[in-house]
Structure 1
């Protein structure tokens, strides 16, 4: 099953009051495994960027002034989204801005039945717990050390990892090896290519985990201290 995890950055909180989308980042999952295919774009909102919004995502009016309009990239974005379910954190917010932009250019809005809200999933799994993306990354051990400010693609990549963990972990996607990857031009043998793609975050060397000779010796001494253990019968 193909799914798209996405995130948006905006000029504010409400498209009904004139706020606009300034960035979108999308990550493709196939059978809950990231394929490495992404879509990312900045948009010129044709308006000012309030200081509060800029403090969150770091995107200034000057930076966005030469970026394309949403209308210029809408066809490419919709082609990438296809008809897949769309996963977002507090998804009503992101869907609201995406559909507001589509409405402004007389495009059909994305059907709300495609919405998958990870906040709603997390609320059922962890009632009473903090449900922010940062909190869920901490809960599931997702490395967010390179997240200095909000960024649509980075946040979508982090959310993709959290989403898989919310649904039970990475083992649910192992059937990818026997499936054909629809929509990315890959073949049934594409698993190696998927695994071989490098993440966008920092690469950390593996940690040594084998017991040392001293640890093994102390373990043997400890085990000898048991009086008539069951495993020796």
Structure 2
């Protein structure tokens, strides 16, 4: 399955206050393996960046004023993510800004049903623990030393690694339906599977094991 790990940077927190997107980053992963396909752009938000946002990403008004507007890249962006599930950390924030930009152009909003929110995954998996991207990088030993400031592509790269770890750490489901019991399917998710052969002990091995247990139990280890 093809998925898109997505992140945005903005002029501020709330679309209600007129804040706009200043950067979009996307990395495609195919069956949880990052491909070479990426989408990235800086955007002219047509308004000033708030002081708090400037501290987060460092994109100045002067720099952003020379970039393309969302209307100029929207078709390319939508084509890149078309028919692919989106993977976003704190999806509510990014979707609200993306859908605001789309609404301003009279375009259809993105469907939240086709989105995986890694913040929700992490909170369900580690209730009560820190679930920021930095905290998850620390938990999974993902090197985030390049994240001096928040930039969309760097955050996408880190999130892709965190997302894969979040899925891989799920409890495996064992399937013992094989009649000959020669293979056990260990399925960590619907995509990735590997097969482990069950080796049955021989009669001689069973006899030696019983003999070993019998001799071991004769000793009283509690005296």
Same fold by TM-score, threshold 0.5 exceeded? yes
Please report the RMSD computed on the Cα atoms of aligned residues, expressed in angstroms.
1.5
What is the CA–CA distance in structure 2 between the aligned matches of 1:55 and 1:141, rounded to whole Å?
26
Q: Could you tell me how far apart the structure 1 residues matched to 2:111 and 2:126 are?
A: 28
Matched, 1:65 2:65: yes
Counterpart of 1:59 in 2: which secondary structure?
Answer: coil
CA offset at residue 131 of structure 1? 0.3
- Provide Cα deviations, 1:125-172, integer angstroms capped at 9, x if missing partner: 111110000000000010001110000111011000000000016x97
The residue number in structure 2 matching 1:148 is 148
Q: Which runs of 5+ in 1 are unaligned?
A: 176-229
Q: After the TM superposition, which residues 116-131 of structure 1 pair with which residues of structure 2 at under 5 Å, given as runs?
A: 116-131=116-131
TM normalised by structure 2 equals 0.76
Aligned to 2:221: none
Partner of 1:82: 82
Equivalent position of 2:12 in the other structure = 12
Q: CA deviation at 1:83?
A: 1.3
Task: Give the Cα–Cα distance (whole angstroms) in 2 for the partners of residues 127 and 40 of structure 1.
Answer: 33
Larger RCO: Structure 1 or Structure 2 (Cα < 8 Å, ≥ 6 residues apart)?
Answer: 1
Q: Map of 1:16-165 to 2, 5 A cutoff?
A: 16-165=16-165
Higher share of residues assigned helix: 1
Unpaired runs of 5+ residues, structure 2, are 170-187, 194-215, 217-223
TM-score by length of 1: 0.72
Question: Which structure has the greater CA radius of gyration?
Answer: 2
Q: Which has the higher strand share?
A: 2
**Whole-angstrom CA distance in 1 between matches of 2:29 and 2:154:** 15
What per-residue deviation string (whole Å, max 9, x for no partner) do you get for residues 31-74 of structure 1? 01101211100110001111111010000100001100000000
